[in-house]
Structure 1
Amino acid sequence: MTDNAEQTAGVARTAKVSVLTLTAMVVGSMVGAGVFSLPRRFGQETGVAGAIIAWVVAGTGMLMLAFVFQRLAVRRPDLDAGVYAYAKAGFGEFVGFFSAAGYWASACVGNVTYWVLITSTLGAWIPAFGAGDTVLALAVGSVGMWLFFFLIRRGIKEAAAINRIVTIAKVVPIIVFVLLCLFVLDPAVFADNFGGADYAGSLFDQISSTMLVTVFVFLGVEGASVYSRHAKRREDVGRATVLGFLSVFAIFASVTIVSYGIMPMGEIAELRQPSMAGVLEEAVGPWGSTFVSIGLIVSVLGAYLAWSLMAAEVLFVAAKDRDMPKFLSRSTADDVPVNALLLSTSLSQTVLIITLLSEDAFDFALDLTASLTLIPFLLAALYAVKLRATRETYGDASARTLRGDLVVAVLATIYTAFLLYAAGASFLLLSFIFYAVATVLFVLTRREQGRAVFTPREALLFAVVVAGAVAGVVGLTAGWITL
């Protein structure tokens, strides 16, 4: 079959999935590596009080983002792969390209955390794996990535079905963890951890320092929106988004809070990842660590599957809209965007190699993933504000609807702007390095179409990105930015 024939057949056979499967995509992509790292990441920064406030802030902010994606799915049902499409519709092709590229890159870098955490888990029994940052860990992670590439290459329907099964299988061990910790929770330890430890700063600093990890664990809240072209009904996208978010939020907050009742936060902060294993081992004995480790491997493999699908989907839809090079729009007869999937796996492979140079492979990949996602999220929230301000698509909507949508959009924008502040300059400059390099794809796209590479406004934006990238490279060279 020729490439064009394959592409036509793929479009004709676009797989349609139910609201249950879309919800499983949201839960499956959100419940991955991050939840198993929560005890240590929070223990390093804050106590019970700070954690509660942090989850209220993060939960409220992410719920507003979930509502944004829900409303945009209804307001603009013609837009697929939401995160990218909303930025383009609101602010032009080049900004839309950056949103697509940033979101795609965050998915690929996030996939690296999964293999780092798997090999770090194995390192508890096989020292050669270390903390997921050894040559053996790199080799095993690389083999795993390419095995999944060939699995997904077989077809979207098969991969989505596997994801739904794995989602159920991985949530059960996490719920068991919460219940067991509640059963043995020590009120005295919990009380001692309430106000934080000596190494924690002000309450505001404590809360700010947890924001990137909360972003990371909530990535995937937009999963149904990204996968919207496969929904049987457009309203299912919004329902799946909110249902998946609320389910996962309860799990994440519970895992964090109950851990403070098992051991002092200073000891939690020193646990190796996955820190959930260390907490449960302290609570119930050695078998607890094994139990969590098995659950982690199932969870992470499921999340990797979901994120591989979403990363390829963003590139594919952008290419179909002529915002990425044409070769990325090729799909097989089974509706698999094969070239987009290949490029995504290749980027993940590259970042996995880079983690060998970092001081903490998992934390580096986690924080970079979160920071790359912030700009696409901010652009989606700003587009919701723009739609409300111009009243485009609102028609004769009621005053209540107008007020509600305005509040949601503004709160989501404020939250994502705060996240950019909390992330700090270092990761923003690292993101600029990627954006500058990724612009090559934009240039190729414009040349394919025989168009000028940049409009004057786009050239100005590109100059800003290049300036940020240069500052990032200088920072890496000078040592004030570290991997």
Structure 2
Amino acid sequence: MNQNGKLGFWVLTSLVVGNMVGSGIFMLPRSLSEAASPAGVLGAWLFTGLGVLMLALVFGNLAIRKPHLSGGPQIYAKELFKKGSKASNLSGFMSSWGYWVGTFAGNVAIITTFAGYLSTFFPILTSQAELLKIGTFSLKVGNALTFVVCTILLWGTHFIILRGLDSAGKLNFLATATKVIGFFLFIVVGIFAFSKTNILPFVAPRVDEAGQSFGLFGQINHAAVATLWAFCGVESAMIFASRAKKTIDVKRATIVGVLITLAIYVGISVLVMGMLSQDTLIASEKPLIDAIETVLGPIGGKFLAAVGLISLIGSTIGWVLLAGEIPYQAAKQGLFLKAFEKTNSKGLPIFGLNVSNGLAQLFIFSTISSSISAAFDFVIYIATLSFLVPYFISSVFQLKLVLTGDTYSKMMKDRWIDGIVATLATAYSIWVIIAGTSDLKTFTFGMVLLGSGIVFYKHILAEPKAKQASKIIA
């Protein structure tokens, strides 16, 4: 980062890697083993990795070709329609609203995972002793303490960020470097501890809650939303494009970040399956620690837990930054209330941070009545579905630029390449949306969250009229 507070390549890369390699790497091995056999898990990672790489190329291209449209993939929604039209404003707002909801909800998944790994040092966080009972509701000691820990991490991060983007960015970079080193050490240990018997049968049917059995393709399809959650944050560099030292660094950081993350995810996911039996893995609240303890004992578990805690602190910083930046950039585009444009003396979106973290606090209440893993599973599905629409919109917008020739010279090679990439990214987004909405309960709740934005949209429409009226009176 330079003296003007601009973000350089490595800090942007650390934001991309840090925001992707967060709670997913710690909890998803359990979720995926429950949803798919080892072959299905590996297939889901590779398929999702290819799809996300296409999205990364789309994000990088758009950051270069449309640098004035900064703030995230949701911003492109309004560009699909005639400028200033109702369709343009409504689509831009709804996309921004859904993306924002997904961001602060996703941050909760990271924070709750932090509490889960902290229990390695403080087992009381998993205590099932009854603290109080009100009617049919029973509050456990572990749940109450988890709620307190999550709250402290959320607001502690909030005040760290308010000290300035420079210090927050450096802290995020340090945490990301630590986690990458720690995870590669885990991979080295895992290679020696890998047992083929744990991943057998390599291909086996899985049964859902309704008792329906599904094969390999169905497993990959079922795991698609969960694996995509692990890559949510791939657009992090693009969101901060207006704060980047060089625009080209946004594309480079995004691509490098995806490749580093994919290597970590595939390596660790496969090795954990080879270090723990499938039944043990599915029942685990902290699978990576349970896996390393089978080799190095409690000391190894505590070391990895420490790396995990540092990692999750870094991820929390990155995601809290995103949650404040998204409504700030949307407000600058006229898609959110003008109040979200308010910044402090450090240039940070103070109003957006306050509101985003206040709403995240509401989601943290889910830890009071459910386990860490249950809260994690619930939140990641809601958050991922919220991200899918902006991802799809970005891909379609890239297709629009290719078809119209906007920002392209007469050379057809670039248009053909970008067209193929955008087509693949669009197809992938549609596929995951279909897979993610197959569960009616998740789909309904996600749509309720998305639709709730309509309540606030009328206030955004009223703002220009209020300004116009004030000018007439003046």
TM range (shorter): 0.7 to 0.9
SS state of the match for residue 345, structure 2?
Answer: coil
Specify the alignment match of 1:228 in structure 2.
241
Q: Tell me, in whole angstroms, the C-alpha distance in 2 between the residues paired with 1:82 and 1:361.
A: 26
Task: Compute the displacement of 1:47 (Å).
Answer: 2.5
Asked whether the equivalents of residues 332 and 338 of structure 1 are also in contact (C-alpha less than 8 Å), the reply is yes
Specify the alignment match of 2:412 in structure 1.
399
Q: Tell me, in whole angstroms, the C-alpha distance in 1 between the residues paired with 2:18 and 2:124.
A: 30
Specify the alignment match of 2:252 in structure 1.
239
* Partner residue of 2:447 out of 432, 439, 459: 432
SS state of the match for residue 114, structure 2?
Answer: helix
Report the more deviating stretch, 117-126 or 102-111: 117-126
Specify the alignment match of 2:293 in structure 1.
281
User: What amino acid sits opposite 1:437 in the alignment?
Assistant: S
Task: Compute the displacement of 1:46 (Å).
Answer: 2.0
Task: Compute the displacement of 1:198 (Å).
Answer: 6.0
Q: Tell me, in whole angstroms, the C-alpha distance in 1 between the residues paired with 2:267 and 2:309.
A: 20
| Structure 2: gaps (5+ residues) | 82-87, 128-140, 208-212, 468-474
SS state of the match for residue 289, structure 2?
Answer: helix
Specify the alignment match of 2:116 in structure 1.
120
| CA deviation string 1:15-34 (max 9, x = no partner) | 31111111111111111111
Q: Kindly, what percent of the aligned residue pairs are identical?
A: 29
Residue 370, structure 1, aligned to residue 384, structure 2: yes
Specify the alignment match of 1:29 in structure 2.
19
SS state of the match for residue 450, structure 1?
Answer: helix
Q: Tell me, in whole angstroms, the C-alpha distance in 2 between the residues paired with 1:393 and 1:309.
A: 30
* Partner residue of 2:214 out of 173, 193, 201: 201
Specify the alignment match of 2:422 in structure 1.
409
Q: 1:286-435 counterparts in 2 under 5 A? A: 286-358=298-370, 360-396=374-410, 398-424=411-437, 425-435=440-450
Asked whether the equivalents of residues 323 and 356 of structure 2 are also in contact (C-alpha less than 8 Å), the reply is yes
Specify the alignment match of 1:39 in structure 2.
29
Specify the alignment match of 1:48 in structure 2.
38
SS state of the match for residue 394, structure 1?
Answer: coil
Task: Compute the displacement of 1:405 (Å).
Answer: 1.0
Specify the alignment match of 2:70 in structure 1.
80
Task: Compute the displacement of 1:38 (Å).
Answer: 2.6
Task: Compute the displacement of 1:421 (Å).
Answer: 1.3
Q: Tell me, in whole angstroms, the C-alpha distance in 2 between the residues paired with 1:236 and 1:126.
A: 41
Q: Tell me, in whole angstroms, the C-alpha distance in 1 between the residues paired with 2:59 and 2:107.
A: 23
* Partner residue of 1:99 out of 95, 101, 110: 95
Asked whether the equivalents of residues 206 and 215 of structure 2 are also in contact (C-alpha less than 8 Å), the reply is no
Q: Tell me, in whole angstroms, the C-alpha distance in 2 between the residues paired with 1:21 and 1:164.
A: 6
| CA deviation string 1:166-211 (max 9, x = no partner) | 1101212211111101012123434x24123665731112111211
User: What amino acid sits opposite 1:336 in the alignment?
Assistant: L
Asked whether the equivalents of residues 38 and 255 of structure 1 are also in contact (C-alpha less than 8 Å), the reply is no
User: What amino acid sits opposite 1:237 in the alignment?
Assistant: V
| CA deviation string 1:257-279 (max 9, x = no partner) | 1122223222211112x211111
User: What amino acid sits opposite 1:305 in the alignment?
Assistant: I
Task: Name the CA shift for 1:358/1:410 in 2 (closer, same or farther; >3 Å).
Answer: farther
Asked whether the equivalents of residues 16 and 254 of structure 2 are also in contact (C-alpha less than 8 Å), the reply is yes
Specify the alignment match of 2:226 in structure 1.
213
Specify the alignment match of 2:7 in structure 1.
17
Task: Name the CA shift for 1:88/1:451 in 2 (closer, same or farther; >3 Å).
Answer: farther
Q: Tell me, in whole angstroms, the C-alpha distance in 1 between the residues paired with 2:25 and 2:290.
A: 14
Q: Tell me, in whole angstroms, the C-alpha distance in 2 between the residues paired with 1:407 and 1:339.
A: 40
Q: Tell me, in whole angstroms, the C-alpha distance in 2 between the residues paired with 1:287 and 1:71.
A: 46
Specify the alignment match of 2:153 in structure 1.
144
Task: Name the CA shift for 1:53/1:233 in 2 (closer, same or farther; >3 Å).
Answer: same
Task: Name the CA shift for 1:411/1:143 in 2 (closer, same or farther; >3 Å).
Answer: same
Q: Tell me, in whole angstroms, the C-alpha distance in 2 between the residues paired with 1:22 and 1:126.
A: 34
Asked whether the equivalents of residues 71 and 326 of structure 2 are also in contact (C-alpha less than 8 Å), the reply is yes
Task: Name the CA shift for 1:348/1:133 in 2 (closer, same or farther; >3 Å).
Answer: farther
Asked whether the equivalents of residues 24 and 163 of structure 1 are also in contact (C-alpha less than 8 Å), the reply is yes
Task: Compute the displacement of 1:120 (Å).
Answer: 1.9
User: What amino acid sits opposite 2:436 in the alignment?
Assistant: A
Task: Compute the displacement of 1:217 (Å).
Answer: 0.8
Q: Tell me, in whole angstroms, the C-alpha distance in 2 between the residues paired with 1:133 and 1:399.
A: 61
Q: Tell me, in whole angstroms, the C-alpha distance in 2 between the residues paired with 1:252 and 1:203.
A: 20
Q: Tell me, in whole angstroms, the C-alpha distance in 2 between the residues paired with 1:198 and 1:143.
A: 39
Asked whether the equivalents of residues 104 and 323 of structure 2 are also in contact (C-alpha less than 8 Å), the reply is yes
SS state of the match for residue 371, structure 1?
Answer: helix
SS state of the match for residue 333, structure 1?
Answer: coil
Q: Tell me, in whole angstroms, the C-alpha distance in 1 between the residues paired with 2:283 and 2:150.
A: 25
Q: Tell me, in whole angstroms, the C-alpha distance in 1 between the residues paired with 2:461 and 2:297.
A: 60
User: What amino acid sits opposite 1:94 in the alignment?
Assistant: L
Q: Tell me, in whole angstroms, the C-alpha distance in 2 between the residues paired with 1:240 and 1:198.
A: 38
Q: Tell me, in whole angstroms, the C-alpha distance in 1 between the residues paired with 2:79 and 2:142.
A: 41
Q: Tell me, in whole angstroms, the C-alpha distance in 1 between the residues paired with 2:397 and 2:80.
A: 5
Question: TM-score if structure 2 supplies the norm length?
Answer: 0.88
Report the more deviating stretch, 13-22 or 380-389: 13-22
Question: TM-score if structure 1 supplies the norm length?
Answer: 0.86
Q: Tell me, in whole angstroms, the C-alpha distance in 1 between the residues paired with 2:277 and 2:454.
A: 47
SS state of the match for residue 154, structure 1?
Answer: coil
| CA deviation string 1:70-89 (max 9, x = no partner) | 11112212211131221222
